[in-house]
Every structure is written in C-alpha cells, then in structure tokens.
Amino acid sequence: MAKQTPRTLSGFMELLPAPQRQMERIMEILRETYSLYGFTPLDTPVIESSEVLLAKGGGETEKQIYRFQKGEADLSLRFDLTVPLAKYVALHYNDLTFPFRRFQIGKVYRGERAQRGRFREFYQADIDVIGDGRLSVFNEAEIPAIIYRTFSALGLKRFLIRVNNRKILNGFYAMLNLSERSQDIMRTVDKLDKIGPEKVEAILTGDLGVSREQALEILSFISINGENEAVLARLETWQGRNETFDCGLAELKTVVKHLGGFGVPAENFAVDLTIARGLDYYTGTVYETVLLDHPEIGSVCSGGRYDNLAEYYTDKQLPGVGISIGLTRLFYVLGEQGMLNPELPTAPADVLILPMTEDLSAAIAFATELRDNGVRTQLHCEEKKFKQKISYADKLGIPYVVFLGEDEIRAGVVACKDMATGEQTKLDSKATIYRIKAGLDARNRGFVIKG
Amino acid sequence: MAKQTPRTLSGFMELLPAPQRQMERIMEILRETYSLYGFTPLDTPVIESSEVLLAKGGGETEKQIYRFQKGEADLSLRFDLTVPLAKYVALHYNDLTFPFRRFQIGKVYRGERAQRGRFREFYQADIDVIGDGRLSVFNEAEIPAIIYRTFSALGLKRFLIRVNNRKILNGFYAMLNLSERSQDIMRTVDKLDKIGPEKVEAILTGDLGVSREQALEILSFISINGENEAVLARLETWQGRNETFDCGLAELKTVVKHLGGFGVPAENFAVDLTIARGLDYYTGTVYETVLLDHPEIGSVCSGGRYDNLAEYYTDKQLPGVGISIGLTRLFYVLGEQGMLNPELPTAPADVLILPMTEDLSAAIAFATELRDNGVRTQLHCEEKKFKQKISYADKLGIPYVVFLGEDEIRAGVVACKDMATGEQTKLDSKATIYRIKAGLDARNRGFVIKG
C-alpha cells in the first residue's frame, strides 16, 4: 500500500510528550492563578461567522485570517480571544453579571509568514474585567498583582511589569497642541528601544512635522525614568495644564499606590512612559511584561484599559481592562533559552508495576490501591524481557518501579525501586505508597520555569 | 455607528459561565482519571494538511469535513483525534517509547446537518495505548476499569459497560461460511436494538442472501445474554470449530477475569454479543457504555482494539486499543436531563470582599492573604450601593461576602457572611479563612453528575 508521508504543518506547534507535560503544567498554573482573582473560565468557538468576527473590518490582521466557505456560510477562525469576548458579552449581555471577569486559554489562528518562533496556531491566555457603563480604576491597579502572581507561580523572578497610562500621553500631546498627530507620534515613540532617540527625533521632525523644540520635549518626557515615586514627582510638574493628563496621572498614582498591598515587589514594577501599545483602543493604563534576561523577545504579557469592548455589536458602553499572554510563543522561547526546569517529572506515570507471576491479581490489586491514592500507575504486562521493561521506565523517566514476584506476594510486601537513587525497599503496600507519595511530593516541588 | 448583530454559529456550543464551570470540572476529572492510568496528555493542531488528514480517503465523514485553501495549501480541520494520533505516532515514532499511552481532550469538526444535540464543533476525550508490533490483551482488559473509574468519578452510578470481541463475531460467521458477508451482517445486527429481530431477520434473508436457518442461528447467537459467566459458558459450546472464534473467546475471558481485581462491579459490566461498532478497523475487544436511565442517547463512551493504527503513514505495525468520550454531546445530554449537580459552586469566586472604607489597604491585604491560601477572591470596588454589591454576590452564587469597615479594621477582625445560611461571623483573618475553607470543602464535596 502506498504511504502518505506524515507531517505537521509548519507554524503549528506539536510537542513531544515530555515538553507537553511542561506545557500542561503552565496552563494549569494559569488556570489556578486566574481563578484566584475571581475570573471564570470561558470557552468560545474557534470558528465564527466572518461578518461577525470581522465586523470591525480592515486592519493588518485581515490578510492573515483563515477565512473560507462551507456550504453557504462565510466562516473565519478566530485570530484573538478579544473579538469573541466582545461578541460573547454583547450576545449574552442579559445573562451576565457585571463586572464580568473571565479568563480564556484557547488557540487562535493567524496565517503569518512562517518563521522561527512565529506560530500560525497559538494559545493565548487572556483575562478581562468588563464593566457595564463604568468600571473602577481599581481593576487597573489589580492587574500588576495578577501578572506578578502568575509569573511568580511559574517560577520566574527576573521580570518587569512596565506600566503607562494613555491619558498621560494623550494629555501631554494636547498640551503641545499635537493631539491630532499623537497616534503617529506614539507609534514612533514606541520604537524608541528599537531605533534609538536620534531616529525617533528624525521621524518626528521629518515625516510628522513636529518642531525641534516639541520633539525635544517629547524625548525629554518619554525619557523620564527611575523609581516610581521619582517618576510620579516629575510628572507632577506638568499637572494642572490639561485635564486628561491630570486624570491619567491620578490613575497611575492609584495603580502605584496599591502595589505594596498586593505584594508586588518594587523591582518587578516600573512606570515607563515609552510604552503605548500599538492597538488604538487602549484608553487608560497599559501594561507590558518583559523578561529582564531576555529583553529581545519583547513583551510576554500585555494589555490595558479600554472604554468600549463591543461597540461593533451593541450600543452598550462596556469598558474593560485585560491582559494576554502569548502562551505558545512564550513556551517556545522558554524552551529555546533552556529555562524549562528539567527536574520536574514529565513521565506519564509515577509508578511502573512489573508483575513477575502469571496470575496478575496481586499486581492489579496494588495498581488499584495506588490509583485510589492518586498515584499515576502503569502496569507493564507486555511480553518483554525484564531488562526491556526496566529500560522502558528509564527512558520515560518513571520514578518508581514495583516488582511483584511470588516471594513478595507470599510475604505480603512490595519490592519498590527508586529509579533515581537505585534504593530498593520491601515494605507492605501502605508503607510503600507512603514512601512513593513523599518522594513524588519532593520531586514536584520545583517551579516549571527556572527563575 | 451601524451594529453587527452578534451571534454564534448554529451547531457550536457556547456556554454561559455557570455551566462552563461544570464543563471545566468534567474535563478536569477526565484529565485526572486518565492520568492515574499512566496516559500522557497530548495536543495536536486543529488544522492539518488535507492530503495527510484524508490519506485514508473516502468514507462518510469526508463530506462533513471543513476543508479549505489558504494560499497554496489545501487544509482541513481534524474530524476526530484518531487520525491525528496516527500521524503523530508515525511522524514521531523514533522519539516515542512503546507501549505509548496518550490521552487527548480536544475539539474536532464535522459539518453535519445542524440538529438538536448535534454539534459541528465538539470535544472528544480519547485515550489510546499503542504498541510497537504487538500489544498484550491485558490492555483491553484494563479499559473497562478506566471507564468505570472515569464515570464513577463524575458521579454516575447507573451505567453499563458493554463489551464484545470482533474475533468471536468473525469466527462465528466463518463457521457459518458467511465470512464474506460478515461486515454487512454485523452492520445489520448492530441495529437490533433499534429495529427489532424481525426486521433484522428480514434484511438478513432478503438483501444479504442468508438462509433462514443461518439467520436463526445468528439471531440465537446474538441473543445470548445474562450473567457474564453464563454467556461465556454458552459461547464455549462453539469452541473448537474456528481458531479466530477460540482466540476471541480467550480474550473475552481475560477481560472478564480481571474485572473484579480492577474493582469494576458486576452490575456495571456486561458481555453483549450485539455490539460490533460501525468502524471497520476494530479487530478485538469492542466497548460501548450506556446510561441505564437514558438508553435512547446511545453509547457515551466507545472504542476497541485495532491492529493497525497508522497503516496509511507507515509500514510499522502499530496495534492499539482506545476509547473516546463525545464530551460535548454528553454534556449537552446531561444538561437536558437535569443531571448536572446544581449544588456544586459555579461562582467565579469563593469570597467577595466589600471594602467599606476609602483606604483599601486592609481589604487588599486580606484579599492577598485569602489568595495565598488558595481561596478565589474578588474585591468589589465599583461605585455601587451596598445593596447592589450584595445582590452581585447573590446573582453569581458567591458563597461568602466579607465586609471590612473601620470598626472591623480597628478591632483586627473580619466580618464574614455565609450567603447560604445568612450566618455572620467576626473573627480574625486566620480564623475566618479557616472557616471559609472548611465551608468550601463541604460545598465542593459532591459529584458533578447526579448519579
């Protein structure tokens, strides 16, 4: 029979079992941490009607969208989790209670040019808080706490949550009478890290027609940095000249003020006036999160405050604040950088039982007892040599191997080998399970990411 | 601005937050239970190259497949998790250790005619054990134990795992010299429950050209039922006439023999000679699982033994055994039948904190302490009336509301109201958390399905 060569599409991540276990761990930690902040899990279809999904129309992403006909229907695969959320909230508005806090971890699709570390199918892990009509700035203040707990729970230490407020930027440009050009200016300023101040100035005074004086004030403004209190003090010198600016500064102060109470250490947080986030719809606090030892990979968790989640679907004013982790890309980078903790078990089972007698009753009974105690157990009953079975445990990294021969069964004990130390015990089943569980606890204690 | 009416495609399940929590619970239980048997989680792309996915070609499903062009590529959405598994195992053969045990819970796509309770996007929850060259029948014997533990962990009691063996059927038809027509005969016999013995006999003697004598022997054969031992005894009367039959009977005996050791009660298991499973590729034990109080919904967990998982991709002989739960449909039916336990909490948070002072420090500190203790906590800091905030907790079913006013803060206590009993305590934070956790434990004790 002619064979079809098996392959996986390029740009689609397909992990081997051991890294997949690590990925599952990360997703579990995200689910747990998001839940601790009162976010409820949500799941929406991968496919939506194109007219619904693309209601906003146009934009950079449209070319990348997986769009196709099925029968009469014009369908598209979701390209983020925000548009489906907007649809969900508008559609189910009457059944939801606001503020509505949801998290969603799901695959999204963008037919980008395939390149190393870029994926066409990738997980996003989003949280959003949606208000009905209004939403307190307090929600913006809580976001850094969530980011901090999430990355800490993963094991990261050297990361920085950078925060800015769009109102400060908008107000500042209004003071300079540059409001109409502020979007373009911010897009340019956003590139400061990449292209440097000279090129930024050149673009500002060139294409954007900003005076040299204004350009210097813009550069001086965005170069404000240092301790949070010092930055806030510098910003206060502009206070009283523009209402939007003052409002943004007050919001930023609220965000900074609560950090301590939320347990976010000063070294993991910085006010940074250079970040604006590309998207137009952010209106208040904006967030980026960088790994301090890997700034080259950019932000691994971004988001911000917006005033109108679902304007394409409803007249309701639905302000919100949210963040998104590009999980697939993050996982890829962590792997590339050797940051995934290899000490954590990735075996499919905790215990491999090798029955040494024809009658399997004792082996099955012990397997059932282990499983009743939450220990992941595999019985190896294939017709293989003893050595091959040991090698099976070895290759998969199964930490314990149990032998049940006639002698053990007669004596009412279980022979159990710790594959890491080679130590072998012969204890009754209860004591064996106790020992195994203690050993597993110790093995699972580490973080998934090497901070 | 013109609005696009938000809608979700028909045939696509999109749950409100409370049922979604129940769905998440079910998935978590499946992940946990599958893991206890040494299955490793796997995740494969939703999109595959059409030539790879449809290598087998033809068949009923092909019309239902979501297939489309993106640039030059001919792509398809997966319609089950078995073909992607075959591709995965063939592609990564050298990196896998056999027997390879994986579970996968993922969405699959079939553009079926939309009808009540039928979905075009639905979750399948699969486990498979794949051998390299050979695979012991022991794996087939373990499957009922996995089904039993899975459904028991969900809370179901009145379900029946029905088991048959294709070799017994094939051997039986060989004895009657009906091997060539056996596929058609089995397809007909499979409909016994639906159309009754007369119509089965009519089809057999009509379209299929079976003699009346043979038809009666077939009907008498498939009507064998009763206690497992009695069924096996009846089957033994045919022993010695056909090798395949004898082999199938020996396998069936192995499966039945281990049930007790695995803790599967007799009332949850039955040998049933009428089931054959539609798919052609099953070669040994086959499984169906029915809810005894809802036989009309058919099998909720099916599968079987096959001899050649990946014959379209590789020359390697890869026998396996697997089962699949049609999760979305099962969830839909459970909801329709009122079988989802409404006692289990579905709120996004366990505790809602209402700060009663302008200074939020104490509220934030207590929220952080609760979260450190694994309690899902939401701070309600919106500008709303007290009554509205209480009503928020009520609507969402948040079990505890905490009030932090000046009096409490000064006294170093926390006022905490149990929303179910109305009982309110004023204790220090540690004692409050202890009480809340005990209450949550009690609330979460139930099963997700009302058995």
User: Chain A: residue nearest B49 by CA?
Assistant: A9
Asked whether the predicted pLDDT for residue B58 surpasses 70, the reply is no
* Contact: A360, B40; criterion CB under 8 Å: no
The CA distance from B411 to the nearest CA of chain A, in Å, is 19
The pLDDT value recorded for residue A292 is 94
The pLDDT value recorded for residue B278 is 63
Three-state SS string over A168-200 comes to HHHHHHHHCCCHHHHHHHHHHHCCHHHHHHHHH
Task: Kindly report each contact of residues A403-410 with a partner whose C-beta sits within 8 Å and lies 24 or more positions away, as own/partner.
Answer: A403/A354, A403/A356, A404/A353, A404/A354, A404/A355, A404/A356, A404/A357, A404/A362, A404/A363, A404/A366, A405/A356, A405/A357, A406/A356, A406/A357, A409/A357, A409/A362
The pLDDT value recorded for residue A182 is 84
- State the pLDDT confidence band at B17, using cuts at 50, 70 and 90: very high
Chain B residues whose CB is inside 8 A of the A375 CB are 36
Q: Report pLDDT digits (tens) over B276-326.
A: 776 678 999 999 999 999 888 889 999 999 999 999 999 999 999 999 999
Maximum Cα–Cα distance across chain B: 92
Residue A339: phi, psi to the nearest 5? -95, 0
* Contact: A7, B49; criterion CB under 8 Å: yes
Beta strand A320-326 pairing with A121-130: antiparallel
User: What span, in angstroms and rounded, lies between the C-alpha atoms of B216 and B205?
Assistant: 10
* Contact: B38, A263; criterion CB under 8 Å: no
Q: Report pLDDT digits (tens) over B340-355.
A: 999 999 999 999 999 9
Asked whether the predicted pLDDT for residue B162 surpasses 80, the reply is yes
Q: How many CB atoms lie within 10 A of CB B214?
A: 19
User: What span, in angstroms and rounded, lies between the C-alpha atoms of B398 and B419?
Assistant: 8
Chain A residues whose CB is inside 8 A of the B92 CB are 16
Q: Who's near A203: CB < 8 A, 6+ residues apart? A: A188
Q: What is the pLDDT along chain A (451 residues), one digit of tens a residue?
A: 789 999 999 999 999 999 999 999 999 999 999 999 999 999 999 999 999 999 987 666 788 999 999 989 999 999 999 999 999 999 999 999 999 999 999 999 999 887 888 899 999 999 999 999 999 999 999 999 999 999 999 999 999 999 999 999 999 999 999 988 888 888 888 788 788 889 999 999 998 889 999 999 998 898 898 899 999 999 999 999 999 999 999 999 999 999 988 999 999 999 999 887 766 789 999 999 999 998 888 899 999 999 999 999 999 999 999 999 999 999 999 999 999 999 999 999 999 999 999 999 999 999 999 999 999 999 999 999 999 999 999 999 999 999 999 999 999 999 999 999 999 999 999 999 999 999 999 999 999 998 6
Cβ atoms of residues B188 and B278 within 8 Å: no
The pLDDT value recorded for residue B90 is 98
Q: From the CA atom positions of chain B, what is the Rg in Å?
A: 27
* Contact: A97, B396; criterion CB under 8 Å: yes
User: What span, in angstroms and rounded, lies between the C-alpha atoms of A159 and A151?
Assistant: 8
SS3 B444: coil
* Contact: B348, A107; criterion CB under 8 Å: no
- State the pLDDT confidence band at B417, using cuts at 50, 70 and 90: very high
Residue A159: phi, psi to the nearest 5? -135, 155
- State the pLDDT confidence band at B98, using cuts at 50, 70 and 90: very high
Element (H, E) at A69: strand A67-70
Chain B residues whose CB is inside 8 A of the A364 CB are 258, 261-262
The pLDDT value recorded for residue A367 is 97
Candidates A450, A108, A156; CA nearest to A301 is A156
The pLDDT value recorded for residue A286 is 96
SS3 B146: helix
The pLDDT value recorded for residue B371 is 97
Candidates B448, B446, B445, B438; CA nearest to B375 is B438
Closest Cβ opposite residue A360 in set B20, B46, B258: B258
Asked whether the predicted pLDDT for residue B194 surpasses 90, the reply is no
The pLDDT value recorded for residue A279 is 62
Note whether ipTM > 0.90 here.
yes
* Contact: B37, A68; criterion CB under 8 Å: no
The pLDDT value recorded for residue A115 is 81
User: Chain B: residue nearest A50 by CA?
Assistant: B9
What is the Cα A173 distance to its own chain's centre?
A: 33
Asked whether the predicted pLDDT for residue B255 surpasses 90, the reply is yes
pTM equals 0.95
* Contact: A6, B47; criterion CB under 8 Å: no
The pLDDT value recorded for residue A331 is 97
